[in-house]
Structure 1
Amino acid sequence: MPTLVLIDGSSYLYRAFHALPPLTNAAGEPTGALFGIVNMLRSTLKARPDYAAFVSDASGPTFRDALYPEYKANRPPMPDELRAQVEPMCDIVRALGFPMLRVPGVEADDVIGTLAHQAAALGIDVIVSTGDKDMAQLVGPHVTLSNTMTNATLDSNGVFEKFGVRPDQIVDLLALMGDTVDNIPGVEKCGPKTAAKWLGEYGTLDNVMANAAKIGGKIGENLRSALAHLPLSRQLATIKLDVALELGPKDLILRDRDVDALRDLYRRYEFNAALKELDGGAVTDSASVIKVAPQYRNRAVEATDLDPALAAKGEYECVRDAAALDTWLERLRQAPLIAFDTETTSLDPLRAEIVGISLAVEPGKGCYIPLAHDYPGAPAQLDRAQVLAALKPILEDPARPKLGQHAKYDVNVLSRQGITVRGIAYDSMLESYVFHSTATRHDMDSLARRYLGYTTIPYEAVAGKGAKQIPFGQVDLEQATCYAAEDADITLRLHSVLWKKLADEPALRQVFETIEMPLVPVLARMEQRGVLIDTQALRVQSHELAKRMHELTQRAFEIAGRTFSLDSPKQLCAILFEELKLPVVVKTPTGQPSTNEEALDAIADQHELPRLILEYRGLAKLRSTYTDKLAEMVNPHTGRVHTSYHQAIAATGRLSSSDPNLQNIPIRTEEGRRIRQAFVAPPGYKVVAADYSQIELRIMAHLSGDQGLLGAFTSGLDVHRATAAEVFGLPPEQVDANQRRAAKAINFGLMYGMGAFGLARQLDIARNEANEYIARYFSRYPGVRSYMDGIREQAHRDGYVETVFGRRLYLDDIRSRNQNLRAGAERAAINAPMQGTAADIIKRAMIAVDAWLGDRDDARMLLQVHDELVFEVREDALEPVTVGIRERMSGAAELAVPLVVDIGVGTNWDEAH
């Protein structure tokens, strides 16, 4: 059947404007929304529709404004940056040959609805290209929706799956929900689920209204209050299907492109990929603008970077006999680089069993060696022990470079098979992370889409999802081979792209080669060792926490005068804000009173109950996260808990950990410290904790070059006391505890961008007094002020800041139109170099300490938390080991001030800290 594509131009213009960064051409003209529209139109042309039209809103009022003067009254005026792109958009649409429709008195939706209705009656298949949910009411046998920004399509089944109602019920759904953007009144607090539930039960809006008396609770009252305006809401939400149009569906023929006009437009707005395509160059569908605002220049993958060959389908072999294995072993021996991956039974590498191994040595080709596929009719497979024995010399050879995507997981999996993988030279996940930590997620699927224009096979496609998901060992070998071998192949392809990017940035390459990659085997060994846990101590503490939580619950009941659930935000709202009349300081995104930690903390000085709830929640979190869970996490094979470290998550370069998350154990409370007491050493050993002292302040002194700070640290003074002496104009020996506390708050607060308001609140002083403190601080430490001003300016200029070692820390919101987001990015610009440098330093220390310890059995590095390293050391080796640790941690960086390391020893982690 012929196809008509109707493009919702108004919807896409706004969506592209808000979705893309503020791109500009060399003349400074905004191009972001225009760029999004151009790519969408070029994609539409590649599909070669029989008919097409670009439909946008005409200026002036519409019939809906006459029906309801408040219609869209809350919409802000079009931003100037967007308004400037409207006429160029129209010029490009016409030059591309699209019929362009703008009909006064109605909206683009009504024009699209009328044309879709007419075309369907003529037997023409209609694709409505839009991101507007209102258009779902048009879906039918000949009409589907397509969102080119998300690659999502909606037919009748898709509408029901997404909204819970049929297309013919969408208008009634919209009427019940209302629309805050268009200012359409609905039923207060009636969301999509409630509206869909009512329509599922009663069928139509009229029937819902007729049965309003049967619906109980507050929502029923809201429905009955809305009965008078619901017919109007339905009328406003209904797309017209009978607009008088000069052109019918078959008149919407694409004209020949005006190549000369397009060339001028593309050159003016610097759409180089589109220009190359216009002049006969080969480009992919994932075109991108070449000239972007300077701070975003490294954000986008440009069309010229995408090699079509890297997006092609691969050729994969299933290795099931000795001859094929021998052939691949020889390829591995001759290969300059080996990409490898494992398929397993678990995401926990230290409990996972190997199901198969995939390998690749050249892009586009790979193999899968199944080792444990077990299903009815499964073909014979090679013996697992023999395959691993054959691969072991290659995998353990440090002279044979290897590549993985999150290779640490596979290293740990293979360690359980007695294979110590050596020679891991590259990791595509870390290449992406170092190149640009916030440009994308760093999983393979995301990286393949971004850097290759390739869509990988999702795991659910071969194993199913939800309750019906089967283990990978039960996946058909043909499907398993396509999925698994693709992993190794795509890893190799990603490396071919990402390594070139790193090679062009010497500082980033240095971070990758000297920090991130050497750290992989260090973290792998730490994860494999694990840490010993006193499970009995945790059980005792868990029981005590439960007892205290019960006491807090009973006290809460006494205060409230009735029982309620301390875990229910709704019931807490009723008690705190309706019954106790406490002020609402923080609201949810929907405008409701919030009961989150920030909200309770803000009113904790006004009543006992919010303080009690905060204590209850803190204990509940400790219990659920640690005292109850840690014992369950003990590995049955090792008798230890094995956390997993993540290198490619935090934008600053800091490590994070999970299962368990060791970064968030509180140390300022007795309960948190007791959890650390459960981390113990085996008989004959002690726990050693080595912690950098005030490392971020020392980095601030180094980066700012402020003579006052440098002098304090170089002289070994108490820097907070020295700061207090400067701020308050006193000799250091006369500084009291409160003045030192104030100075400490200033020292750390300014590093995190804290202003007078935050300092006043933290110190419980007047805002003008806090302003005076800050002014005195900067007058005594002018280098700090200069550094802060300079780093903000650099961030605006470049879009990123750097650590001492060259790691880039991108600030995505530094030129945001939202003032709060922009201010947050400016605060981050000040702190990120310090946090990032601290992260780099402790990583360098870990690499140095691990290399020094080697394979000795009298000392083992176990944990890394923030600026601290934790070891277990044999008692007779404590002195030389602690000396060696301090030397290597202190020598991890050459700063303008000394790096000081505090070391403690104890029978458990808390005692050593």
Structure 2
Amino acid sequence: MPKLVLIDGSSYLYRAFHALPPLSNAAGEPTGALFGVVNMLRATLAARPDYLAFVLDAPGPTFREAIDPQYKANRPPMPDDLRAQIEPMLAVVQALGIPTLRVAGVEADDVIGTLAQRAAQAGIEVEISTSDKDFAQLVGPRVALVNSMDRTRLDAAGVREKFGVPPERIVDYLALMGDKVDNIRGVDKCGPKTATKWLAEYGDLDGVMAHADAVPGKLGENLRAARAWLPRSRDLATIRTALDLDTAPEQLALRARDDEALRALYQRYGFNSALAALQRGDEEPAPRPAARAPTPAPAATEAALDPALAAPGRYTLIATAQDFDSWLEQLRDAALIAFDTETTSLDAIDAEIVGVSFAVQPGVAAYVPLAHDYPGAPAQLERARVLAALKPLLEDATRPKLLQNAKYDMEVLVNHGIALRGMTHDSMLESYVWNATATRHDMDSLARRYLGYTTIKFEDVAGKGAKQIPFAQVDLDTATRYAAEDADITLRLHHALWPRLQNLPGLRRVYEDIELPLVPVLARMERHGVLIDADQLRRQSQVLAARMHTLQQQTEREAGQPFNLDSPKQLQAILFDKLGLPVHMKTPGGQPSTNEEALEAIRDAHPLPGLVLDYRLLAKLRSTYTEKLPAMINPRTGRVHTSYHQAVAATGRLSSSDPNLQNIPVRSEEGRAIRTAFIAPPGWVIVSADYSQIELRIMAHLSADTGLRAAFRRGEDIHRATAAEVFGTPPGNVSGEQRRAAKAINFGLIYGMSAFGLARQLGIGRGEAQAYMNRYFERYPGVRIYMDTIRAQAQRDGYVETLFGRRLYLDELKSRDAARRAGAERAAVNAPMQGTAADIIKRAMIAVDAWLQTRGDDAHLIMQVHDELVLEVRLDALQAVRAGLIERMQGAAALDMPLQVEAGHGANWGEAH
């Protein structure tokens, strides 16, 4: 498992300052704290973490001062000797190549908490290097504390042993004791033993406060006096774990070490042992700048380290025509060519090739630089000549090629007049089909998991953030190590993954018949793009802004005071403290949640939650679409070009980004208005076709329930038919309310909804909701049998499958956490239906695209959204294309219940849908 080490910089500095004598260098500059920090950093680097960050508080106030102006008011000023060591400390951190993070408005603790949570959820092991007990609240699966001085490690069991409470009760423990240094008020005279005793007896802080009257003596009096401020103290002590950070854990790779700067710093401050180790080369730079033997596979990998895949790579820089011609002959004779491009941009529509790399056997690869441009750059082969020589090979469908994320390279090659054919493998899709949830499917993650190999990151060679340089400015030797490694690792991954897929016919069919053929379809859709009416979106943005302003006024009237609608803290205070609304959900820190689900649960209790939800919807639509889309129009094409992602959703569904087309609401007036801004050019129309109730039809097929199948075969309104069965009413007498309840049951069961969830959605009692579900299963017994069977099968095998053989692994079925286990059981029921629906629409896209390619240029696939395909069709071809589209979508799967497709058309997407 990859590891992220998060260093609490303040803890390092203060711990070293107080632990070591007041040392100084020859010039009389204080060095004691700096000496301790340097030694701790060297020890941390010696452990070779995959990711590392040195986190410090940013200057200025934070949100905690807004909660309590007296927060940290009693802290003494930093000693001058310590302050003088901050700048040299930061210089050492930078020279060591360790990323430094400072985020204004929050504390370093919150940055660490957020990154720790994100990393753990992404399958990265986290170590928080600190001596601050507050961080014990973050300990959990994949997150541990490591003492910055003695390197002792504290996991969840260690937290309980040390503090007497588990990690989830640390915040309550801290609130009860208070913190004199941070000026957080606790219960007077309450120390660790008392706090532990109370929490053991009463469960949590709320329980302690609720039983305050039962606590005798002076401590009881102190506890009752503290009830007024304990919730605030708990809030102050809670480390935030959901900040909106620009930095992801995977971006915290170590940079190249600046040995010259380190040498000067060590000499200045008299760190002789560190200087000697640096000069001897005892401490290897991190990251290693050259190709190297793979590191041992972590325990969580599936690495198959045969000699061919584990050997160090031999990479060649091709700088002469003779060398290129020699490699060209090798490519012509190769059984499989691993190919990769280096470009000017991640936007494939506008990217130009800077160089190309290829490999034909594991461990042997070459890079051809074509457009590197920096002072002193050597002469390179002419790009036009090299690409012209490669074009026949790349366009030859009989010569197999292998790529990682082939869609991107395919689009880039089109920019240079090359139509890639013969793309027989994609290592990203091999991994995705093999196990969608085991890891992310970028090359770095795959190399780590399946090869036990740590790749050179782009940031290692080009820098990051504001200092990042274009790849065209990377020197040729460094570029060769990086680019040739890409081709080499792609080939090694294929050798590790393809044999596994070959041994499982179902997965192999998903890979060869669905995922691979879809790549060129998506590439064509992305390149064609969609027309956007920017002026209309700007007008809609003004309308949304006006409605948001009106909603803000309404919320203030309902709240009885003005407040910041975008502040969860202020909203929390009004909803739960002032209005006294019930709390259905809490944040990880134990505070009442104000997220969408929590507000939906109390929507009927007071007008304010609904108004806030309406405001958030409009704000999201405005920021994500009406404001953003006009700026995303490509000035060269005049269209918006989204990016579709195959290897993201575990169920096989596509996702999209820049812009995300999957989340435009279809049922709201505002969402439909945005869709009207997606327009057809003159002489063309938009055609939208989507599957009707596809997942319910799949449920009927998989469950073989006689009643459900009969309703579909008779062409009945399935929700009305279900209502008739559940409520014992003739279909003609079903009320709108009964149909709505039946619809909630139909779709709720697919997504594993409980009686409690159904009750909340329908606004009825739990017992009544359970009775509805019981009657549903009585009328459709095959559905219950299917659900029970699929859960048992998932428990036995650890995965479920779609109708076409795609697998979804459900590791959380074995979790000790009841909530995670329940979520996995719901996924076991839902994934075969949702995944089969995803497979069906992908098959439909492949069939429709192949047919359109034979028609010439009278229709184009331009969007895919959930169960819907959107086309741009020339007006004179409308009827033929509409009929052919429906035919191919309905023929994408042979279910017992025929697939039904509804298609419309119009001048824009809103009219067509």
Instruction: State the partner residue of 2:207.
Output: none
* Structure 1 residue 857 displacement after superposition: 1.0
- Give the partner amino acid of 2:545: A
- Higher mean C-alpha deviation, range 687-696 or range 358-367: 358-367
| 1:150 Cα offset (Å) | 5.5
1: CA distance, partners of 2:473 / 2:428: 28
Distance in 1 between the 2:703 and 2:759 partners?
25
Query: Letter of the aligned partner of 1:832 in structure 2?
Result: A
One-letter code of the match for 2:861?
A: M
Determine the C-alpha separation between the residues in 2 that align with 1:644 and 1:160.
Answer: 30
How far residue 321 of structure 1 moved from its aligned partner, in angstroms, is 2.0
Aligned counterpart, 2:10: none
Structure 1 residue 574 displacement after superposition: 2.5
What amino acid is the match of 1:144? A
Residues 359 and 366 in structure 2, CA contact (< 8 A), matched pair in contact too: yes
Indicate yes or no: 2:180 matched with 1:220: no
The match for 1:534 is 533
Counterpart Cα distance in 2 of 1:171 and 1:910: 55
Match of 2:302 in 1: 301
Report the TM-score when normalising by structure 1.
0.72
| Superposed counterparts of 1:25-424, under 5 Å | 140=39, 144=43, 173-174=132-133, 181=160, 182-183=162-163, 220-222=183-185, 285-286=296-297, 301=302, 305-424=304-423
Alignment length (residue pairs): 697
Q: How does 1:759-770 map to 2 (within 5 A)?
A: 759-770=758-769
- In structure 2, relative to structure 1, the CA distance for the partners of 1:561 and 1:137 (3 Å cut) is farther
Matched, 1:604 2:603: yes
Pairing of 1:483-502 with structure 2 (within 5 A) = 483-502=482-501
Give the match's secondary structure for 1:863.
strand
1:406 touches 1:427 (CA, 8 Å); kept in 2?
Answer: yes
Deviation at 1:143, TM superposition (A): 8.8
Match of 2:806 in 1: 807
Q: Which residue of 2 aligns with 1:244?
A: none
Gap change, CA 1:452 and 1:173, over 3 Å in 2: closer
Offset at residue 228 of structure 1 (A):
7.9
| Distance in 2 of aligned mates of 1:357 and 1:799 | 41
Return the offset for 1:146: 7.9
Aligned counterparts of 1:743 and 1:730: Cα–Cα separation in 2: 12
Structure 1 pair 397–714 and aligned structure 2 pair: CA distance change class (3 A): same
The aligned residue for residue 902 of structure 1 is: 902
Please state whether the residue corresponding to 2:628 is helix, strand or coil: coil
Q: State the SS of the aligned residue for 1:864.
A: strand
In 2: Cα distance, 1:859 partner to 1:160 partner: 50
Structure 1 residues 383 and 816: alpha-carbon distance in aligned structure 2, compared to 1, 3 A threshold: same
How big is each residue's C-alpha offset from its partner over 1:814-868, in whole Å with a ceiling of 9 and x where there is no partner? Answer: 1111121111111111110000100000000100011111052111111100001
Question: What does residue 453 of structure 1 align with?
Answer: 452
Taking structure 2 as the reference length, the TM-score comes to: 0.72
The question of whether the paired residues in 1 share the 8 Å contact of 2:691 and 2:900 is answered with yes
- Aligned pairs (5 A) from 1:412-451: 412-451=411-450
Per-residue CA shift, 1:413-435, capped at 9, x if unaligned? Answer: 11111111111110000001001
1:761-840 counterparts in 2 under 5 A? 761-840=760-839
Check conservation: 2:295, 2:453, Cα contact below 8 A: no
Q: How far off its partner does 1:730 sit?
A: 2.6
Question: Is 1:883 aligned to residue 846 of structure 2?
Answer: no
Q: What is the distance in 1 between the residues matched to 2:363 and 2:411?
A: 27
Q: Matched residue of 1:657: which SS?
A: strand
**Once the two structures are superposed, what CA deviation does each residue of 1:371-396 show, in whole Å capped at 9, x if it has no partner?**
11111100011122222222111111
Deviation at 1:576, TM superposition (A): 2.3
C-alpha spacing 1:731/1:152, structure 2 compared with 1 (3 Å): closer
Measured against aligned partners, the alpha-carbon deviations of 1:129-185 in whole angstroms (never above 9, x if no partner) come to: xxxxxxx999957993589796679999779979979xxx99874389899744379
Most deviating of 625-634 and 387-396: 387-396
Closer, same or farther: CA 143–465 of 1 in aligned 2, 3 Å: closer
Structure 1 residue 595 displacement after superposition: 1.6
- Deviation readout 1:701-760 (Å, 9 max, x if unpaired): 111111111111122122222222222223222222222222211111111111211122
| Contact in 2 for aligned 1:760/1:769 (Cα 8 Å) | yes
Matched-pair identity in %: 63
How far apart are residue 619 of structure 1 and its match? 0.5
Contact preservation (8 Å) 2:301, 2:448:
no
Paired residue type of 1:220: N
Q: Secondary structure of 2:583's partner?
A: coil
> Is 1:284–1:306's contact at 8 Å kept on the other side of the alignment?
no
SS at structure 2 position matched to 1:144: helix
Q: 1:164 to 1:532 in 2, by over 3 A?
A: closer
Q: CA 1:175 to 1:533, structure 2 compared with 1: closer, same or farther past 3 Å?
A: closer
Tell me the residue number matched to 1:559.
558
Distance 1:338 1:721, change over 3 A: same
What residue is the counterpart of 1:124 in the other structure? none
Structure 1 pair 164–584 and aligned structure 2 pair: CA distance change class (3 A): closer
Cα distance in 1 for residues equivalent to 2:543 and 2:859: 34
In the alignment, the residues of structure 1 paired with residue 798 and residue 337 of structure 2 have an alpha-carbon distance, to the nearest angstrom, of 36
**Letter in structure 2 aligned against 1:879:** Q
Structure 1 distance, partners of 2:594, 2:802, is 38
SS in 2 for 1:665: coil
Tell me if structure 2 keeps the 8 A contact 1:358–1:366. yes
Cα distance 1:868–1:597, how it changes in 2: closer, same or farther (>3 A)?
same
Unaligned runs of 5+ in 2: 4-14, 20-34, 55-88, 102-106, 110-127, 139-158, 196-293
Deviation of 1:537 after TM superposition, in Å, equals: 0.7
The answer to whether the aligner puts 1:593 opposite 2:592 as a matched pair is yes
The structural deviation recorded for 1:226 is: 7.5
Q: Is 2:664–2:671's contact at 8 Å kept on the other side of the alignment? A: yes
- Farther-moved stretch of structure 1 (632-641 vs 853-862): 853-862
Distance in 2 between residues matched to 1:724 and 1:141, nearest whole Å: 67
Q: For residues 139 and 470 of structure 1, what CA distance do their matches in structure 2 show?
A: 29
Counterpart position of 1:713: 712
Take 2:131 and 2:512, find their aligned partners in 1: how far apart are those partners? 59
Query: 1:170/1:833 Cα in 2 relative to 1: closer, same or farther (>3 Å)?
Result: closer
Residues in 1 aligned to 2:135 and 2:592: alpha-carbon distance in whole angstroms: 23
Q: Contact 1:178/1:184 (CA < 8 Å) preserved in 2?
A: no
How many Å separate the matches in 2 of 1:170 and 1:906?
59
Match in the other structure for 2:221: none
The residue that corresponds to 2:677 in the other structure is 678
1:25 match:
none
- Aligned-partner Cα distance in 2 for 1:402–1:176: 49
Q: Which residue in 2 is equivalent to 1:857?
A: 857
Look up the match of 2:635: 636
Cα contact 1:853–1:860 (8 A) shared by 2: yes
Cα distance change of structure 1 residues 867 and 153 upon mapping to structure 2, 3 Å threshold: closer
Q: 1:611 aligns to what SS in structure 2?
A: helix
Q: Is the 8 A contact 2:353 2:371 kept in 1?
A: yes
- Segments of structure 1 that go 5 or more residues without pairing to the other structure are 1-18, 21-35, 37-112, 118-135, 196-207, 213-218, 234-282, 289-298
Q: How big is each residue's C-alpha offset from its partner over 1:317-355, in whole Å with a ceiling of 9 and x where there is no partner?
A: 112222122112222211111111111121111122221
Aligned in 2, Cα 1:227/1:190: closer, same or farther, shift over 3 Å?
Answer: farther
User: 1 CA distance for matches of 2:375 and 2:51?
Assistant: 36
Alpha-carbon distance between aligned partners in 1 of 2:544 and 2:130, rounded to the nearest angstrom: 52
* AA of the residue aligned to 2:349: L
Deviations 1:507-553 (A, max 9, x none): 11111000000000010000010011111110000011111111222
Q: 1:793 to 1:354 in 2, by over 3 A?
A: same
> Once the 2 structures are TM-superposed, how far is the Cα of residue 477 of structure 1 from its aligned partner?
0.5
- Give the letter for the 2:658 counterpart: D
Does the aligned pair in 2 maintain the 1:145–1:154 contact within 8 Å?
A: no
> For the structure 1 residues 662 and 147, does the alpha-carbon distance in structure 2 shift closer, same or farther, using more than 3 Å as the test?
farther
Q: Distance in 2 between matches of 1:343 and 1:160?
A: 25
Tell me if the contact between 1:307 and 1:452 (Cα under 8 Å) persists in the aligned partners. Answer: no
Q: Does the aligned pair in 1 maintain the 2:163–2:192 contact within 8 Å? A: no
